Each structure stands twice: as C-alpha cells, then as structure tokens.
Structure 1
C-alpha cells in the first residue's frame, strides 16, 4: 500500500488536479492547449536534450533492455492491429491507429516520474535509453503503416512515401530535442554553466506541467462505445507489453535489476496522449483511442502497483 501512496498517487494527484480544474471550468480548453504545447514542444524536448546530452551512452544502451521493451511493444502493436482488423472488422486505417495505441506507452509523462519516485533518479538511465528512440522509431513505424494503408491502390512511389515518413517524424519536437542531445553528447562540445542552468530550469518544469496539462486533456474524453476494442487496448498496454518485457528480461536476456525495472515499468504505462494525437492526425479511430487513453490511465494506478510488487 505504501508503494501506491508514496510512488503512484502523487503522479496521479497532479493529473487529477488538472482534470478537476478543467471540470470546474478554471482550466479551459485554450489554457490546456497552451500548457500542453509548452510542455510537449518546449519543456519536454529540453528535458530530453539534457538527459541524452549527459547520458553515458555505452552503459545505458543495453541490448537486453532494448530488446525486452521493443519486442514487447511490437508484439502489442501486432496484437492490436490484427485484433481490430480480424476480430472487430475495423477498416485498415482504423486498425493501424488502434495498434498504435497498443504500441505507444506513456514512457515520458508517467514512466519517468513513477520510476524516479520508486527507485530514485539514478535508476532513470534505462528509461532515457528507451525514450531516446521511442518517439522516432514508433512514429516512423506508425506513419509508414498508416500512409501505406491510406495509399494502397493509389500508386504512391516508395520515394514519395519515404519523404512523407521522414518529414512527419523529423519535425516532431521530441525528436529534435533527442537529436540535439545526441549531437552534444557525441561531439563533447563544452557549454557554459549559465547554459546548463537555463536548461535545468526549463527541464524541471517539464513533467509537472505535462502531468497537469494531461489532466485537462483527459477531461475532454468521454468513455463511450467500442468497449471490447478499448478492453483489448488496455490489456495490450497494461498486461501484454510489460508481461513480455518481464519474461524476456528474466528468462531470455537475464537483465540486471536496473534494466529489468526500466523495461517493465516503462512498458506498463498506459497509452500516452500521442495515441489520440496520432488517430486525430489521420481522422480515424479517434473515439476509441481517446477513450482508451482515459480508461487505461485510470486502470494503470492498479496495474502499476502490481508490477511494482513483482519487480525486485
């Protein structure tokens, strides 16, 4: 119970505070959009820039850690896409968006603060390693399959499809922040103390602002319809993905304790708002993905507690 109160509850209280203020009309839609734009386009990219720039790349990029997480993520994606297509008879574009919701864990806004509160700031190296390729890799996969699904039969060349994917992926602020962090890390370019002080100030604002804004965003969603499809997304995100990461990490790759914690806890997070944003971008499966984000985020309070009990 102490894990629930000390580790998980503070994170969800900030989300709940944003939700309550939005519900009371004290945090209107334009304010929510402004806070989320600040967090996702500026503060969080700065946080990722700082983390990647200062990361020990050789120590952080453990093969077992990365494969445990991403094999689980890709399996969940296939499970969601095929389930939506074959079981629920959704159109192919809807199925890709639903699969993306099963794929894209909220590794940043939930995974980082919960891991830090559970195990301390020194336990985040594995999280940052996962996050450093999370958005570029998964967005590239989702966009590629969605563009293929949309253009099937339209004769779009591979070159044109590749340009669409590259443009959509590389224009993401999170990807830009990660790329700049890698550039500074690899070049070893010294930066003045004033620069790092400003970066630290911005980075400290990222997670609280994003969590509060996430509460406002979740208020917009209303649980309605497609219950079986939403249940499938919740199962894939909260049980299947972390379950695969745990089995691979303990039985196949023999991950150390830190890597096992990072891979399983990051995998155990509910779908992020990106799952809805991806569906909204293409105008497909918006209601399903929006409701799944809300329901899975609420359910994750319990499932994260279970995974924390299982982990060493």
Structure 2
C-alpha cells in the first residue's frame, strides 16, 4: 500500500497544485486554455506517438485488450441506457450522465499507468486510448444530439471528420503504423519526441486541477453520486471480469482495469455546453469523479497488486 501511495501521490499532488495555482491567481486565467491546448495538440500526441512507435506490440494480446476495453464501454453504455427511466432526470441531464458513464480522463490515465506500471503499462494504456477515444466520442455526440436541448443532427461524415481530427487518436494510429514498418523513429526525431512527451503529464495534470469546480461539486445530487459509483466502481469491475474471462496477463489486466476506472474527461463539459446538455451537472460530474478517484484509484491498485 505504501509503495502504491508513493507512486500515485505525485500524480494527484500535481492536480491539487493546478487547482491551487488557479484559485490563487498565480498565473493569469488566460494561461490555462493555452496550457490545455498545448497538452492536447502537442505534448500528449508526442508522448503517445513515441511510445506506440517504439513499443513491442507483437508481444501484447491485442485482441484480448480490445475485447475487454470495448466490451466494458459497450456494457456501461447499455447499463446507463437501461437506468434512464429510474433516474427520472431531464433529457439534457441524462445526456451528461451518459457522457459521465463512458468518457475517461486520458491525462490521468496515462499518468497513473506510467507511475504504477512503467513503460509496459503506458503502452497498453495508449492502445486503450486508440480504442476508446473514437468510440466514446461518437457515442457522446450521438447522445447529446438525441437528448440535448438542440436541433443538431450529426451526420456520418461530420462524426468521422471529428474523430479523425482527434490528435490523441491520430498520434496512436500513426505510432502503430510506424511500429509496424519495423523502421522505428529516426535518430533525431525519436529523442525530440521523447523529450517533448515528458512535458505532457505535468502540464496535463496541472490543467486537470485548474479545471476543477468545487462549487459545482457542492451542487452534486443523487444522479451525480450514481454516476460516480458507475464510473469509478462498476466500470472497472466489469473490465476486471472481462479481463479474467479472457485470461489477460497481469500488466495488461491492470492497465485495462485502471483505464476503465478513470474519472470523466473535462472535454465532456465542452460537448455538453455546445450541444445542449446539462453543463452545470457535467461540471459536477467531472469534479466529483476527479476528487473521488483520488481514493478509488489507489484502492484499485491495491486490489490489482500492481506494485
């Protein structure tokens, strides 16, 4: 337990530091959107690309990882749809709950994997990103279009275009393509991307902390609590069951389960606001998920015996 906490405390300390810096106005508010943009479009893609380009993908049970990860997303999607009549919330609120059930915070996921599982876990998590990001983006847009307070009907072409524009997905796809060629990264490009990628985790985690809204957390009610239980407890339990059923090795199992137990991504708030979801509830979900994950992720790590 002590080893796990020692590995995870720096990760969550960066989130807390980001929150403090934002609250204390140590940096101007204009800094944080730029930091998020730099992370999303530059440093995290560099990290994902360099990792997947150089990883030993041939030794991984790719089919098992894909089945467990996408199977978890599918089951969670079915479960949240089934519970809609029971929740008794408005359609815009349900669209936010839907996002909260399936969208993971990739920044936290990669940081946790790097801290607990090393390069091997980071590679598996990068594969999870490549699988889950396009899937949950499409599902979230469809949910917001259907239940959100808007008149937008996304077409197949626009959905495909949005997915293909995602820099995290493209970094994974291109990295895997380079990996499959067998040539690897050029001498100068490889080290450059590795150095650039090292900035991804600290900047990304600081931005996560800066985006927390404690006032939104205080407004949280029963549906947000239900969402938190589903995303941080039920989702990783489903993933663990599928991984055991598929016989995944320990590192792959741990990476998939930890990824399934991540808090909701902050990008869900942007989509909720743009497509008529319940943005205040979305802010509550993101903040409560993130705060509670400080407790649940170490518990998952203990149960998985990752250290």
Q: CA deviation at 1:212?
A: 0.8
| Match runs of 1:159-308 below 5 Å | 161-188=155-182, 191-219=185-213, 222-250=216-244, 252-308=245-301
The change in CA–CA distance for 1:309 and 1:151 in structure 2 (over 3 A counts) is closer
- Secondary structure in 1 matching 2:188: helix
> Structure 2, unaligned stretches of length 5 or more?
none
Q: CA deviation at 1:73?
A: 2.3
Q: CA deviation at 1:301?
A: 1.5
Q: How far apart are the structure 1 equivalents of 2:188 and 2:299?
A: 43
- Secondary structure in 2 matching 1:48: helix
Q: Deviations over 1:119-169 (max 9, x none)?
A: 322332321221122211221222234335569999x6xxx7111211222
- Secondary structure in 1 matching 2:217: coil
Is 1:147 paired with 2:145? yes
Residue number in structure 2 paired with 1:124? 122
Q: How far apart are the structure 2 equivalents of 1:78 and 1:181?
A: 32
| Match runs of 1:18-167 below 5 Å | 18-83=18-83, 85-106=84-105, 108-149=106-147, 161-167=155-161
Contact 2:53 2:185 in 1 (8 A): no
Q: How far apart are the structure 2 equivalents of 1:257 and 1:5?
A: 20
Q: CA deviation at 1:196?
A: 1.4
Q: CA RMSD in A?
A: 2.5
- Secondary structure in 2 matching 1:127: helix
Q: CA deviation at 1:40?
A: 0.9
The change in CA–CA distance for 1:27 and 1:256 in structure 2 (over 3 A counts) is same
Q: How far apart are the structure 1 equivalents of 2:50 and 2:186?
A: 14
The change in CA–CA distance for 1:296 and 1:74 in structure 2 (over 3 A counts) is same
Contact 1:223 1:291 in 2 (8 A): yes
Q: How far apart are the structure 2 equivalents of 1:189 and 1:62?
A: 21
The change in CA–CA distance for 1:153 and 1:215 in structure 2 (over 3 A counts) is closer
Q: How far apart are the structure 2 equivalents of 1:183 and 1:221?
A: 44
Contact 1:72 1:245 in 2 (8 A): yes
> Structure 1, unaligned stretches of length 5 or more?
none
The change in CA–CA distance for 1:220 and 1:29 in structure 2 (over 3 A counts) is farther
Q: How far apart are the structure 2 equivalents of 1:4 and 1:183?
A: 34
Q: How many residues align?
A: 305
Contact 1:234 1:292 in 2 (8 A): yes
Q: How far apart are the structure 2 equivalents of 1:292 and 1:210?
A: 19
Contact 1:61 1:129 in 2 (8 A): no
Contact 1:72 1:240 in 2 (8 A): no
Q: How far apart are the structure 2 equivalents of 1:174 and 1:77?
A: 22
Q: CA deviation at 1:189?
A: 5.2
